């Protein structure tokens, strides 16, 4: 290693371990030359090398600065709309999701909080106490619409968000997936057309396929969410029955809709007579204290069915979600009675206690801070270690990042290579009927550590290698 390479290497290490932070100035050529007792030309060569890696930039008359991750990582582009079509990727999606669940993997895959981010100790203590005092909780079934106290706690929680709803309007479900599925069943029959975001959560695609529904894909911006003009155009062309939408922190893009767009969406739903299935599963993980209002709070005409769960904010294993469906309530209860009959009683009782305690707010506050910190660290590592023209989202909450790699990279190939090194990710094609083949989604809902950074850097190196190989081939 030559002298300038050595200096470059040391500076890279200092940037990666945050000795020099994003936006901060690194020593001038002159001061580094005198520190290291080398010529200015040698330092210049070293800095050029670090600059080529996108880690520092020159600012005229000011010196060299550690690059803003944001500069390298602009959001991926707006997607396009697609005409209605039936879906045929259920098996591929299920196979990849099943593969991703292996306990041996370092998980950037499934969008679930890691064990350390779940209040497992508190839940275990509450479960023990409950089972000791009320043994019947283990054996009794609770039929749909679910445990009254849990529904009351959810009604209180919704009221804090500005949504005043009666306990009787809440149905407890087996997670948010069942909530969305039951809503679709209540609103549609096979062959009907449902509007979805592009990209959207793969569970929506599975549900549409399984119910024999057609998906019309609506152009979506990774920051602002569904394009309401595109939806309006689609709704005048085709008879849309329902629109599944995640106005706050959509999965995978993390997009958040403005209040103006939400109002326009509701006007359109009223005008074109469709119902919006609002999926608000990530809403509580918004980073700022005041999270955006759910669409439901603006709905005056019963054009919204609200679905959510505690799978992202507390623990996915509890399998507790809920629906607020007002005048479609009875249809939903009937369908749940005909399928699962209800939700595990013990989970409902424990969660009711957890929500009634001070723990939920404390837990959310702690996790929001951790995820925001993780996002900063992850974006820095991605900016440093992923191929040059990589784009990534910087969502205002949650714990997932949506990453567009250079178009030449096959994200499925990257997914397979990563699994070969026991690292899981989700390839982009799982989130749409077509396209997003060079995208990946990563989960950063974990206790951040040097190992996390190493694994993410390794993923970046694999992506870089793939981008170089593909370049050579083309």
Ligand X SMILES: Cc1ncc(COP(=O)(O)O)c(C=O)c1O
Chain positions contacting ligand X, by CB under 6 A: 111, 175-177, 201, 203, 246, 251, 279, 281, 309, 311, 316, 321
Min dist. Cβ of residue 341 to ligand X (A): 17
Min dist. Cβ of residue 65 to ligand X (A): 37
Min dist. Cβ of residue 448 to ligand X (A): 21
Kindly tell me which of 253 and 380 has the beta carbon lying closer to ligand X: 253
Kindly tell me which of 321 and 395 has the beta carbon lying closer to ligand X: 321
Kindly tell me which of 393 and 464 has the beta carbon lying closer to ligand X: 393
Kindly tell me which of 144 and 246 has the beta carbon lying closer to ligand X: 246
Kindly tell me which of 64 and 439 has the beta carbon lying closer to ligand X: 439
Residue from 260, 247, 338 nearest 295 by CA: 247
CA torsion 264-270-274-276 (nearest 10°) is 50
Kindly tell me which of 201 and 286 has the beta carbon lying closer to ligand X: 201
Min dist. Cβ of residue 400 to ligand X (A): 8
Kindly tell me which of 20 and 181 has the beta carbon lying closer to ligand X: 181
Min dist. Cβ of residue 32 to ligand X (A): 47
Kindly tell me which of 309 and 381 has the beta carbon lying closer to ligand X: 309
Min dist. Cβ of residue 428 to ligand X (A): 15
Kindly tell me which of 76 and 203 has the beta carbon lying closer to ligand X: 203
Q: What is the 3-state secondary structure (H, E, C) of the chain?
A: CCHHHHHHHHHHHHHHCCCCCCCCECCCHHHHHHHHCCCHHHHHHHHHHHHHCCCEEEECCCEEEECCHHHHCCCCCCCCCEEEEECCCHHHHHHHHHHHCCCCCEECCCCCCCHHHCCHHHHHHHHHHHHHHCCHHHHCCCECCCCHHHHHHHHHHHHHCCCCCCHHHEEEEEHHHHHHHHHHHHHCCCCCEEEEECCCCHHHHHHHHHCCCEEEEECEECCCEECHHHHHHHHHHCCEEEEEECCECCCCCCCECCHHHHHHHHHHHHHHCCEEEEECCCHHHECCCCCCCCHHHHCCCCCEEEEEECCCCCCHHHCEEEEECHHHHHHHHHHHHHHCCECCHHHHHHHHHHHHCCHHHHHHHHHHHHHHHHHHHHHHHHHHHCCCCCEECCCCECCEEEEECCCCCCHHHHHHHHHHCCEECEEHHHHCCCCCCCEEEEECCCCCCHHHHHHHHHHHHHHHHHHHHHHHHC
Min dist. Cβ of residue 279 to ligand X (A): 5
Residue nearest to ligand X (CB): 175
Give the integer Cα–Cα distance in Å for 119 and 313: 10
Contact 243, 193 (CB under 8 A): no
Min dist. Cβ of residue 377 to ligand X (A): 22
Min dist. Cβ of residue 211 to ligand X (A): 15
Kindly tell me which of 67 and 187 has the beta carbon lying closer to ligand X: 187
Min dist. Cβ of residue 42 to ligand X (A): 51
Contact 422, 429 (CB under 8 A): no
């Amino acid at each position: 290693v030559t002298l300038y390479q050595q200096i470059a290497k040391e500076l890279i290490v200092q940037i990666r371990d945050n000795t020099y932070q994003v936006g901060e100035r690194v020593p001038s050529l002159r001061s580094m030359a005198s520190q290291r007792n080398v010529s200015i030309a040698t330092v210049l060569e070293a800095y050029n090398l670090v600059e080529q890696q996108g880690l520092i930039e020159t600012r005229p008359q000011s010196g060299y600065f550690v690059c803003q991750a944001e500069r390298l990582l602009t959001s991926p582009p707006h997607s396009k709309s697609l005409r209605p079509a039936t879906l045929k990727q259920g098996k591929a999606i299920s196979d990849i999701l099943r593969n991703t669940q292996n306990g041996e993997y370092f998980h950037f895959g499934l969008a679930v909080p890691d064990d350390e981010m779940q209040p497992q100790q508190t839940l275990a203590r509450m479960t023990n106490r409950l089972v000791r005092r009320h043994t019947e909780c283990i054996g009794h079934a609770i039929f749909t619409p679910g445990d009254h106290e849990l529904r009351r706690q959810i009604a209180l929680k919704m009221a804090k968000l500005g949504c005043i709803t009666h306990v009787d309007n809440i149905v407890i479900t087996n997670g948010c997936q069942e909530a969305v599925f039951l809503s679709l069943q209540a609103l549609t029959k096979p062959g009907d057309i449902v509007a979805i975001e592009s990209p959207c959560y793969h569970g929506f695609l599975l549900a549409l396929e399984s119910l024999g529904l057609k998906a019309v894909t609506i152009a979506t911006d990774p920051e602002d969410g569904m394009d309401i003009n595109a939806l309006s155009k689609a709704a005048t062309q085709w008879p849309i029955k329902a629109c599944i939408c995640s106005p706050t922190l959509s999965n995978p893009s993390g997009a958040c809709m403005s209040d103006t767009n939400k109002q326009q969406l509701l006007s359109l739903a009223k005008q074109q007579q469709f119902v919006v299935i609002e999926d608000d599963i990530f809403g509580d993980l918004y980073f700022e204290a005041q999270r955006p209002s759910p669409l439901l709070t603006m709905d005056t005409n019963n054009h919204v069915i609200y679905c959510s769960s505690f799978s992202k904010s507390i623990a996915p294993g509890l399998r507790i979600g809920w629906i607020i469906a007002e005048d479609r309530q009875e249809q939903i209860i009937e369908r749940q009675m005909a399928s699962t009959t209800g939700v595990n009683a013990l989970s409902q009782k424990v969660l009711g206690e957890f929500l009634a305690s001070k723990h939920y707010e404390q837990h959310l506050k702690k996790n929001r801070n951790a995820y925001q910190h993780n996002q900063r660290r992850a974006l820095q590592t991605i900016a440093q270690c992923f191929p040059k023209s990589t784009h990534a989202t910087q969502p205002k909450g949650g714990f997932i990042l949506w990453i567009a790699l250079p178009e030449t990279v096959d994200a499925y190939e990257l997914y397979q290579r990563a699994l070969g090194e026991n690292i899981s990710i989700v390839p982009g094609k799982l989130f749409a009927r077509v396209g997003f083949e060079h995208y990946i989604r990563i989960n950063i809902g974990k206790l951040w550590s040097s190992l996390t950074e190493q694994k993410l850097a390794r993923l970046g190196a694999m992506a870089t290698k793939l981008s170089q190989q593909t370049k050579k081939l083309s």
